[in-house]
Chains A and B, each alone.
Chain A
Amino acid sequence: QSALTQPASVSGSPGQSITISCTGTSSDVGSYNLVSWYQQHPGKAPKLMIYDVTKRPSGVSNRFSDSKSGNTASLTISGLQAEDEADYYCCSYAGSSTWVFGGGTKLTVL
């Protein structure tokens, strides 16, 4: 149950697009289309942004999208806005009622 690998930080200017990668193994990300992404602002609870690779909860902007190839999932945020500045975590189902999170990525909007 090793944590999924995410870049520690990414940055972009308002209006730009950024992508956050999430690399796991053939036992988690590679085996299931069950990756979810969470946004967390300081001092707040995590917020679900995307799940099951392509689904967005009601109220989440369509500026957030994701994809998966092999053992790597990616979150793309287009049209960056100041409010997008937060920590982002990926999470994958890993079988047998277990899950694993990524180490988190700090997004800075310049």
Chain B
Amino acid sequence: EVQLVESGGGVVRPGGSLRLSCAASGFTFDDYGMIWVRQAPGKGLEWVSAINWNGGSTGYAESVKGRFTISRDNAKNSLYLQLNSLRAEDTALYHCARAVAGSEYAFDIWGQGTMVTVSS
């Protein structure tokens, strides 16, 4: 079964850090670009970051640039998001998603998400 499972979320104080992980299974991980998308409680989807198949190309939303870092370990079939200098407005459910084969610009497999709460 093709699957993405996120982990690493939790409650953290403003200014703190977290590392989110996304474990992929059921497909050849290093064939696909990946993204992180977040959804604040009761709000819409917000694209956060993207990485291509080999990690050679990355992109970030302006709201997280300089604070978040996306990476991947193809040998471990895993995607990561390092969250630093966290703010209250970073509180959200963080999903990882896989790019569509042959497109790379849309995302067809999504994880259920891991919740990040930034609060003092």
Q: Show the binding face of A for B, using Cβ within 8 Å.
A: 1, 3, 32, 34, 36, 38, 40, 45-48, 51-52, 55, 57, 87, 89, 91, 93, 96-104
Contact A103 B106 (CB under 8 A): no
Interchain nearest-CB distance for B7 vs A (Å): 15
Tell me which of B61, B62, B100, B105 has the highest count of chain A C-beta atoms within 10 A of its own C-beta: B105
Which one of B9-17, B19-27, B110-118 contacts A?
Answer: B110-118
Number of interface residues of B (CB under 8 A): 27
Contact B61 A103 (CB under 8 A): no
Q: Show the binding face of B for A, using Cβ within 8 Å.
A: 35, 37, 44-47, 50, 52, 57-63, 95, 97, 100, 103, 105-108, 110-113
Interchain nearest-CB distance for A91 vs B (Å): 7
Interchain nearest-CB distance for B98 vs A (Å): 10
